Amino acid sequence: MTANTRVLVVTSSILGAHGQSLGLAQHFQRVAQQRGDLTLKVRDVIADDLPHLGLEELSSWQVTEEERTAEQRELAARSDALIAEVLDHDVIVLAVPMYNLGIPSQLKAWFDRVLRAGKTFRYTENGPVGLVDGKRAILLGARGGKYAGTAMDSQTPHITHMLGLMGISQLDSVFAEGLNMGEELKETALSDAHQQIEALVASL
């Protein structure tokens, strides 16, 4: 990457300061700051408390700016701002807890606003085409159990395909797994994940 690479860190743990994915994101930030040539911004989708995407907000995207009511302008601005933030960064780091085999619903609410036809992807006769070029993504996953590489891991393909829909196909993943399977396993998993994060930061 070029000097002054811009990194957006998206956090989504509901466990506050105890969030393990937050801990991974913070380690990423610490190591990244030591480099001195990376600009970091954090988007905490839990603090943002994004509501589920509903019809009114969706409808606000489907009319031109001139046609929008004041309320529709406000609703459309949510997604516009989140998309602009993604476009403004070179690397998107997603710190993702596993909740009930999936992603936090607040993170889904973020994706629902960032994945927008006509803005970040478009439909063609051959299927959707991503409109977001030249970015890479890093997934920092925290999980109570162990799923990576198994058929039970439906979370990773979901994230991979949502990023892919926008055109972000370069994805590196670090998983801290087995965090609820005993202290020893947890310590090893976190320490391994930290090392992998350090290698990834060095690769930016």
Ligand X SMILES: Cc1cc2nc3c(=O)[nH]c(=O)nc-3n(C[C@H](O)[C@H](O)[C@H](O)COP(=O)(O)O)c2cc1C
Q: Which is nearer to ligand X, 24 or 83 (CB)?
A: 24
Residue 98 known to bind ligand: yes
Three-class secondary structure assignment of the chain:
CCCCEEEEEEECCCCHHHCHHHHHHHHHHHHHHHHCCEEEEEEEHHHHCCCCCCHHHHHHHCCCCCCCCHHHHHHHHHHHHHHHHHHCCCEEEEEEECECCECCHHHHHHHHHHCCECCCEEEECCEEEECCCCCEEEEEEECCCCCCCCCCCCHHHHHHHHHHHHCCCEEEEEEECCCCCCHHHHHHHHHHHHHHHHHHHHCC
Residue 98 found at the interface with ligand X (CB under 6 A): yes
- Considering only 180, 188, 195, 203, the residue that binds ligand X (CB under 6 A) is 180
- Considering only 7, 8, 21, 83, the residue that binds ligand X (CB under 6 A) is 21
- Considering only 1, 5, 15, 31, the residue that binds ligand X (CB under 6 A) is 15
Residue 203 known to bind ligand: no
- Considering only 17, 49, 64, 100, the residue that binds ligand X (CB under 6 A) is 100
Chain residues binding ligand X by CB under 6 A are 13-15, 19-22, 97-101, 142-145, 179-180
